[in-house]
Structure 1
Amino acid sequence: MNTFLDLTFTGLVVGAVYGLFALGYTLVYGVLRLINFAHSEVFMWGSFAAVWCMTLFGARAGTGVLPAIGLLLAALVAAMLVSGGVALLVERVAYRRLREKNSPPLVALISAIGASFVLSELMGLRDRVAGWLNLSGPLAPYVDRAREYTQFTNPLANVEIVNLGGFSVRSNQVIVLVAALLMMLALDQFVRRSRLGRGVRAVSQDPEAAALMGVNQKRVIQLTFLIGGLMAGAAALLYMIHIGVTRFNIGFILGIKAFTAAVLGGIGNIRGALLGGLVLGLAENYGSQLFGAAWKDVVAFALLVVVLLFRPTGLLGESLGKARA
């Protein structure tokens, strides 16, 4: 029973991060019918922003509670701003010109994959970029070991909150789960109830009719990429709190899993992204316990295939444009 509880809770924690990460995929697809594969690198850049923020402020493990919370909030702002900025850059450079020329979806998909590799390799070659600019010395803490794992310093002590036999709940797990759920709830209410959110839903449902009603489609698309980027940055910090390391290519497998969560829950549906992430996290944990850790990804993706065979629209197959307040 303790093993089951531990697998369930840790699965929910990881699944909440997947769900928050998946919002970028589901929002962009809901509005543009485009799979933004560069979103995985938006997440990756946010994770490095969190690391660099801690490096800048000289964070150390075991700092007092209030200073640690302040540092984590600063890291959250940094990660969200960097990821949001990178997402807007991707929209401007990789997609806008193609959209204005009414390019086929396949061209946009290829552009997305290209942007993903460019962003990944830029981070992996950041030491050489700093060298070209003669900044290797001042930026050494940020560019050294560019292609190796980079450690995140969590200033908040990871204390045990609950211990029932062999089942324990730690503070970092609670922070990650609660923060992810609150952010997703806030975004869901924003899209359903705010004026900007109604604009996003209108463009998703019928772009031409929305334009006739005075909705600025270009601004809505930018807003969609920005929101997806901000949520990816928040997910990146929560992932760093839970896992503690990042790398220039970390977005690849995590991006596939977040996309899987979006499809599993019903891509284009915000609540579906949350549900898909939680289901995926639980499936991974249960699968690793039943068949071994090496089979974790096999179980997760097999579950996706089974669900789509019987429900092609995902668990909550209602589109963003049809979502009701």
Structure 2
Amino acid sequence: MELVQQLVNGISLGSIYALIALGYTMVYGIVKLINFAHGDVFMVGAFVGFYSITVLHLSFFPALLLAMAVCAIFGVIIERIAYKPLRNATRIAALITAIGVSLLIEYGMIYIRGAQPEAYPSDVLSVGDLHVFGVTISGQSIFILCISIALMIILQFIVHKTKIGKAMRAVSHDAEAATLMGINVNNTISATFAIGSALAGAAGVIFGVYYTKIEPLMGIIPGLKAFVAAVLGGIGIIPGAMVGGLVLGVIEALVSALGYSLWRDGVAFVVLILILLFLPTGLFGKNVKEKV
């Protein structure tokens, strides 16, 4: 019975990782950049949600939408100021910049509001527990999972059915050809950052509601784990990020259920090492033939 609850918790946690991982994988798919500041956008989303609820007295869904909107704008600002000037620079220059932006956001937040943690009000999301075949399952876990799945479905619709989604796929496939076809590559990249950052903001609010405690350095470990989830699924592949996040969450929950909760954070990086050793393209990756 305990195992069922742990699996539900794992899937809920995995859905949060998946939402963050989608930002990593979308940006990498288009500009081949690992945006290590993405975990800190997740942190900003958590704080926007917290202040929306406690200061503006908004309910859960308006706070979620506001956090997504603020993080989308924040993501575009980061892209335009920090990454756009480095579009034709070396990969290592862009990577170092991403780490610098990450540290700037973290310590900028500490400078603005201090390092003390905050706690989401416990009554933000009042959902009763479910009792199925004698097993009690957290209603909050189910609700969070449903919100995450809904956001992923909306993302799939945007990518496959809208004009901007088609532009994103075209730029991902061949940016030069997309430019020749009249697609504005800069705007498409900005839109990708906006969508990925909005999903990270949503994940931040969901994380805050689920775990209550938030603080300025909270984005580091979930951000790194989401990166592992993106690599696990096949970085650059959207369904892979979703599946990778869910798999990683379930693995962590099973490790906790077996009594090794101190290894929860470490197991993600063991998974990363194993994937890089035995399946470097990830679960959904494809072998790409290169002409020499």
The two structures share one fold, judged by TM-score above 0.5: yes
CA distance in 2, matches of 1:318, 1:49: 38
Deviation of 1:33 (Å): 0.3
CA distance in 2, matches of 1:109, 1:155: 37
Verify: 1:55 aligned to 2:54, yes or no.
yes
State the identity as a percent: 39
Question: Where does the alignment leave 5 or more consecutive residues of structure 2 unmatched?
Answer: 288-292
Partner of 2:71: 83
2:42 and 2:201 in contact (8 A); partners too: yes
**Cα distance per residue 1:19-69 (max 9 Å; x no partner):** 01111100000000000001111111000000000112347xxxxxxxxxx
Aligned residues: 286
SS at match of 1:125: helix
1:269 and 1:318 in contact (8 A); partners too: no
Residue 29 of structure 2 aligns with an amino acid whose one-letter code is: G
Partner of 1:63: none
SS at match of 2:10: helix
**Cα distance per residue 1:180-220 (max 9 Å; x no partner):** 01111110121122221110011011011111111110110
Partner of 1:108: 94
CA distance in 2, matches of 1:125, 1:163: 47
Residue 98 of structure 2 aligns with an amino acid whose one-letter code is: A
2:18 and 2:242 in contact (8 A); partners too: yes
The residue correspondences of 1:23-102 to structure 2 (distance < 5 A) are 23-58=22-57, 71-99=59-87, 102=88
SS at match of 1:162: strand
- Scaled by the length of structure 1, what TM-score is found? 0.84
Higher Cα Rg, which structure? 1
The residue correspondences of 1:244-263 to structure 2 (distance < 5 A) are 244-263=212-231
2:3 and 2:257 in contact (8 A); partners too: no
CA distance in 2, matches of 1:14, 1:277: 8
CA distance in 1, matches of 2:76, 2:218: 21
Of 117, 120, 123, which aligns to 2:106?
A: 120
Q: For residues 193 and 307 of structure 1, do their structure 2 counterparts lie closer, same or farther at Cα, with a shift above 3 Å needed?
A: same
SS at match of 1:47: helix
Residue 44 of structure 2 aligns with an amino acid whose one-letter code is: W
Partner of 1:233: 201
Residue 25 of structure 2 aligns with an amino acid whose one-letter code is: T
Partner of 2:3: 4
Partner of 1:268: 236
Question: Where does the alignment leave 5 or more consecutive residues of structure 1 unmatched?
Answer: 60-70, 128-145, 320-325
Residue 43 of structure 2 aligns with an amino acid whose one-letter code is: M
Verify: 1:310 aligned to 2:278, yes or no.
yes
Partner of 1:210: 178
Of 151, 154, 157, which aligns to 2:119?
A: 151
